[in-house]
Chain A
Amino acid sequence: MKHERRHGNASTERQPASAGLLGRLDDFLDDRTGYRALLHEALYERVPGGARWRYVWGSTLVFAFMTQVITGLVLWSSYSAGAQTAWESVYYIQHEMAGGWLLRGIHHVMAQAMVVLLALHLLQVVIDGAYRAPREVNFWLGLVLMMLVLGMALTGYLLPWDQKGYWATRVATNLAGLVPLVGPSLQQLVVGGPDYGHHTLTRFFALHAGFLPATLVVMLVVHLSLFRKHGLCAKQPLIRPDAMFWPDQVLKDAVAMLAVMAVVLGVILMPALRAMLEGRPIVPGELGAELGAPADPSQPYAAARPEWYFLFLFQFLKVFEGWGATGEFFGAIVVPGLIMGVMFLMPILGRWQLGHRFNVAFTLGLLAGIGLLTAMATNEDYAAVWADRAAFADVEKLLEETGNDPARIAAHFGGDTSKLAAFEARAKKLDRIRHSQSFLDAVTGAKADAARAVELAGRPERIPPTGALDLVRNDAFSQGPRLFAQHCGSCHAHVDPSSPDAPSVEAKASAANLHGFGTAAWARGLLDPARVGGPAYFGNTAHKEGDMVSFVRGDLADADQWKPAEVEAVIAALAAEAGLPPADVPAAVVAEGRALIADGERCGSCHRYGPEDTEPVDAPNLTGWGTRDWLVGIITDPTHEQFYDGMNDRMPRFGVAQDGGAPPLTRRQIELIADWLRGEWYRGTAHAAARH
């Protein structure tokens, strides 16, 4: 089956010298290069049956690839592959360099458009039977090109070295390790060693910007020349007269390219339009591609998901949950391998009409399956957005009342199996909503972390040479809540007393609510007879009936012993000790308060205060109460004679090594908790939404 292509020769023959300087230059150039013939060869391809929209997909893919080459090369000129520089350089491109957000945005969104265009191109080729003889090899080349593009998408995801890319890549490379025999070696080669780090980035970057695109270019050249050799596989029957590639098909291709670019720009600029309509300021750095918080192997990342076009694989693996490594091997390697195998066999199968029908049905089925799995994954993650959780209030209540004990739940329904079954079905639904909600919360948290990292990176001191992760790890605003939740939150509450859920949170806590510790408001609550013995202060501790509580309820409540103005003066003095004094209190009042604290007949009868070395007593020293040093001291060792000494309730000594091991918290971690409790952290111009 030899295909012939014919061209008119008139326009390629040497033409007589054209008039004018430009004409002569043109002739000179053509004489030396023969460019007219080349151009003619490129443009005057016959399109049997006329130009059609269905032929545009290949051209849009070439266009998309060229866009990636242009934007990729410029990104390359500012990107720095290294564990302490990758995130930082991408931050710099996105937030500080001119037009970086647009450049990255186009590269990022076009990569996704390319995956969609690949699917459309494949679909068109299969439906039109364009894989059949003599075009089998070109079809196989196309499949290889597809895998190369997907490989570039996968490797590109890691390069910003943010939490999202880091965790997704760990999963992807671990799956690669499941390949029989060579898996572990393959994984180690790709990762650049046994651990993730500099060489993971340099190797992924070399793959992403070197090996894969170079291979792709070679394959693409062969793909295109084979396409030209065989000519366009025209959709039968031919309904219109033949046309030339230029300008008829080129026009349709160009319109399609413009449409693709318009969609890409639309995706990038949509949030800007929304901000404009809602009257919010447009921050260019927030447009285009996302940049998560810097990769941190020590922080869980519950928002980890692959890019949306790999979501189907992620969901598919869940089918094999409970099968262990065998299931993952099956789901991530065997099944995708079989699917690729069938696709490689398509040109052979397509020799028979039935085989062609199978191929079309298989491709459509595959895309439908991918669509379905993607929808399932999306539904699992976002169920809480559209589900009405309030409708499950009774289920939630019963589950809490019965402690999720199946026997007690069954007893509740008194043997009515249909009611029990209905309840169980609804409990399952509720579980899915809860699951989804925790994912959505993780996404919100990840966004806040990312915004905070960007805010820290923008400090006038810039990013230290140790990298942005170091900034995040030493940031009281990000680390304080985490450390508090891990080490303090099991006893202490930290909730704004004016918030509606404060009473329930405080009631569950077994130690004081530390929200606003060191402020006048906190001190006022402590010295309030109605509150000192309540759950926000000593109510749930061993000091519930202690000296302080009886003092506040007795002496302090007695206006003959303590004038209200004196109590206020002590409050102001305590806040001033902490360095957080209310602005409107005169210095004289603070001085009066300090004198009352020092007075051996007043506070000083139990508490030490001031530089004088007085008798040790079983109450915290109030010198520098609430300061950073004071907080660090009490967290380090509450049993120290400066604090509770022998009267310490159950608070651990967080900074003291026990049984020869390391202390539960490092000095730096304790400082971060102290800074966070005192509300001392870097505040940029665009402060991230408070999360604590």
Chain B
Amino acid sequence: MPGHLRPYAAPDHEPTPGRRGAVAKLLAMLCGGLATLPPLVAGGWNFLDPLRRRSAAATFLPVTDVASVPDDGLPRQFAVVAERVDAWTGFAAEPIGAVYLRREKGSDTVEALSATCPHAGCFVEMEPQERCFRCPCHNSRFMLDGGIVAPSPSPRAMDGLECRVGKNGEIAVKWQNFYTGIAEKVARP
């Protein structure tokens, strides 16, 4: 084939699209689209998987006992310990977060506050000298009972958590997360 090596000389005129040009275009797009669909569908289907996941149902978790919460009205920080599942890993009991517990003078009632700032989710710190809570991220301040100190970046007071005191003084807190940045306290699913 001596012609094999000859450079190709293109004719000057534009090739005319065949009669079936429109049909060919439609078919080409259809086939190309169908071929690309499976990876897109599989990818999208898998990528959206996290939307199916729900956090474990809110349960009462043991935190400490009444004797460990002095009745001086000052909140104390306690770790919440629980077994935890992270995707495929099951963790034995370990600290999964923290709560503030406080008790008024002479009272047996324990109040529990979530340590998560309702503004943007930072960890709210206790300032014993100033006798208030302060969020290190945007300086939201809260009173010792969790009430808001206006003006505040936070749209609401600190989130109270349901708290039970058992017969022998053991304290259990209903561990829940709430949406941040909104005025209403809405639990996450």
Contacts and interface: CB of A to CB of B under 8 A. Distances in A.
Contacts of B3: 236-237
A243 B32 CA distance: 19
Interface residues of A, number: 65
A242 B9 CA distance: 11
A261 B89 contact: no
Contact of A248 (B1, B8, B24, B29): B24
A92 B10 contact: no
Contacts of B46: 74-75, 78, 93, 97-100, 102-103
A259 to B, nearest CB: 8
A486 interface: no
Interface in B21-37: 21, 24-25, 27-32, 34-36
Interface string A99-131: 110110110000000000000000000000100
A32 interface: no
A244 B15 contact: yes
A89 B88 contact: yes
B90 A46 contact: no
A280 interface: no
Contact of B42 (A8, A88, A96, A102): A102
Given A77-B47, A463-B88, A465-B91, A254 B38 contact: no
A462 B85 contact: yes
A258 B15 contact: no
Contacts of B5: 129, 132-133
Contact of A242 (B10, B24, B91): B10
A254 B28 contact: yes
A659 interface: no
Contact of B32 (A46, A103, A257, A264): A257
Nearest to A251: B28
A464 interface: yes
B17 A244 contact: yes
Contact of B52 (A98, A105, A457): A98
B31 A254 contact: yes
Contacts of A457: 88
A415 to B, nearest CB: 65
B24 A251 contact: yes
Given A98-B48, A106-B42, A248-B18, A48 B10 contact: yes
Contact of A463 (B24, B35, B89): B89
Contacts, number: 145
Most buried by B among A8, A89, A242: A242
Interface in A365-392: none
Contacts of A71: 39, 42-43
A461 B90 contact: yes
B169 to A, nearest CB: 31
B4 interface: yes
B12 A6 contact: yes
Contacts of B14: 7-8
Contacts of B11: 242
A100 B89 CA distance: 18
Contact of B1 (A236, A258, A461): A236
B49 interface: yes
A316 B25 CA distance: 47
B89 A462 contact: yes
Given A71-B43, A465-B91, 13 more contacts: A5-B10, A63-B36, A67-B39, A71-B39, A78-B49, A88-B89, A92-B87, A98-B52, A242-B11, A247-B17, A248-B18, A254-B31, A257-B36
Interface of A: 1-8, 46, 48, 63, 66-67, 70-71, 73-75, 77-78, 88-89, 91-93, 96-100, 102-103, 105-106, 129, 132-133, 231, 234, 236-237, 241-244, 246-248, 250-251, 253-255, 257-258, 260-261, 264-265, 457, 461-465
Q: Which 8 A-B pairs have the closest CB atoms?
A: A462-B90, A99-B45, A254-B31, A254-B32, A257-B35, A251-B28, A8-B14, A74-B43
19 contacts: A3-B8, A46-B10, A66-B39, A70-B39, A88-B88, A89-B87, A96-B88, A99-B42, A102-B38, A102-B41, A103-B43, A103-B45, A106-B39, A243-B15, A244-B15, A251-B25, A257-B32, A257-B36, A465-B91
